[in-house]
Structure 1
């Protein structure tokens, strides 16, 4: 997989916050933003997979232990 340049114009205050968050993790702003986007993309794809699984297998269990299905939501709202 190759790399592509993405140029963004952002507010100075937002850039300062991004720098602060990145510095706390010992990362560059570019790496921090890329990691955040990758995580968000994963969360979105995971939620889609959970929703599709629930549609395929039917409604989720009520959590009382009487249902046949366990909802694999992992805390995703």
Structure 2
């Protein structure tokens, strides 16, 4: 993995706060900033994945809705009782 250099100009008050946060975690200021950026990037990618999943299921046929004219024979058990239908969500919400 290649590394790159990023130079930032930060005012003294912000730098002091970054150093304090890093020291409380036993980290260098550089490691603290990098981990914060990585965490933010992960949060953003995770949120995008959740939104894409929601769009996918919104576009898919809704199994919990009855088709016009009522449920077909496959939606009932042998006794004629409607089967429970659920909409998959992968535990996200």
Normalising by structure 2, what TM-score? Answer: 0.66
Which ranges in structure 2 are unaligned for 5 or more consecutive residues?
A: 60-84
| Higher radius of gyration, 1 or 2 | 2
Q: How far off is 1:67 after superposition?
A: 5.6
Q: How far off is 1:69 after superposition?
A: 3.8
> What does residue 87 of structure 2 align with?
68
User: Which structure has more helix as a fraction of its residues?
Assistant: 1
> What does residue 5 of structure 1 align with?
5
For 2:51, what is the secondary structure of its paired residue?
A: helix
> What does residue 43 of structure 1 align with?
43
Per-residue CA deviation, residues 12-44 of structure 1 (Å, 9 max, x unaligned), is 000000000000000000000000000000000
User: Distance between the aligned counterparts of 1:53 and 1:23, measured in 2?
Assistant: 39
Greater than 2 Å deviation, 4+ residue runs: none
CA RMSD in angstroms comes to: 1.8
User: Distance between the aligned counterparts of 1:35 and 1:18, measured in 2?
Assistant: 12
For 1:58, what is the secondary structure of its paired residue?
A: helix
